[in-house]
Amino acid sequence: EPEVTQTPSHQVTQMGQEVILHCVPISNHLYFYWYRQILGQKVEFLVSFYNNEISEKSEIFDDQFSVERPDGSNFTLKIRSTKLEDSAMYFCASTGGLTGAGLGTEAFFGQGTRLTVV
Amino acid sequence: DQQVKQNSPSLSVQEGRISILNCDYTNSMFDYFLWYKKYPAEGPTFLISISSIKDKNEDGRFTVFLNKSAKHLSLHIVPSQPGDSAVYFCAAQRGSGNTGKLIFGQGTTLQVKP
């Protein structure tokens, strides 16, 4: 079964450092997302990406964050100058695989990257 | 942002009985509602969805009911099995083709006792 793959599974970083979280979406999917879940809170939407550009972003996704699809298979989330409150599980998701009817599919999520900012 | 709410943080049921998980929403413009299941250290896994134009969708042991007038949906699992023990998230989405962002509820932890 196709799956979304995220690396690393756990990242520890010093406050103020930059981190890049990596994702390999399902190969024929067209829409890509990042979500995060701070411990004890709900899963929150960060950003969606389609056709090599951001299609929607939340208030959380400020200038500290950026996304990129550098090579047609990877989808990365960069967090510049990390803060303690960036500590969370970050989930990548993809959807929009082309079925025979050309319809999208439900979002498939990766297993997440736990980011700990110390 | 409290557009999707799951007011019960936890639910415990006996194996073989029915589990009913509830979800309320405030935005009448949502087009799809989805249920995801999440085990510890894993990402959310899609379970079942329903279009806003329907009131019921069934897939095996899982049935989702939508009451648009009450802005309420529920997930029924029958019979419940110990392997169903997980956190269940209700999510809502706008737009066609299931490509819009998902707005999640807080989740309900289901424990199914053998």
- Comparing CB atoms, the residue among A50, A103, A110 nearest residue B43 is A110
Mutation pick from A5, A7, A21, A106 vs chain B, by most beta carbons of B within 10 Å, is A106
Paired residues of B23 in beta bridges:
B73
* More confident: A38 or A96: A38
Calculate mean pLDDT across residues A82-105. 79
Mutation pick from B25, B46, B51, B101 vs chain A, by most beta carbons of A within 10 Å, is B101
Taking 80 as the threshold, does the pLDDT of residue A103 lie above it?
no
Q: Which residues of B touch A4 (CB under 8 A)?
A: 43
Interatomic CA distance for residues B47 and A72, integer angstroms: 28
- Which residues, 6+ apart, have CB-to-CB distance to B60 below 8 Å? none
Calculate mean pLDDT across residues B105-113. 97
Calculate mean pLDDT across residues B9-15. 97
- Which residues, 6+ apart, have CB-to-CB distance to B93 below 8 Å? B30, B31, B32, B33, B34, B100, B101, B102, B103
Q: Would the CB atoms of B44 and A91 count as touching at under 8 Å?
A: yes
> Residue B35's closest chain A neighbor by CA?
A106
Q: Would the CB atoms of A4 and B43 count as touching at under 8 Å?
A: yes
> Strand B86-93 vs strand B32-38: parallel, antiparallel, or unpaired?
antiparallel
Q: Quick one: pLDDT at residue B85?
A: 97
How many CB contacts within 8 angstroms connect chain A with chain B?
62
Interatomic CA distance for residues A97 and A32, integer angstroms: 11
Cis peptide before A25 (omega within 30 of 0): no
CA distances from residue A62 to A4, A78, A85, B5, B92 in whole angstroms, order as listed: 25, 11, 14, 26, 23
Q: Quick one: pLDDT at residue A100?
A: 45
Interatomic CA distance for residues B23 and B73, integer angstroms: 5
Taking 70 as the threshold, does the pLDDT of residue A96 lie above it?
yes
* More confident: A107 or B20: B20
Nearest-Cα distance to chain A for B4, in Å, is 10
Q: Quick one: pLDDT at residue A97?
A: 58
Calculate mean pLDDT across residues A21-46. 93
Q: Quick one: pLDDT at residue B12?
A: 98
Q: Quick one: pLDDT at residue A105?
A: 65
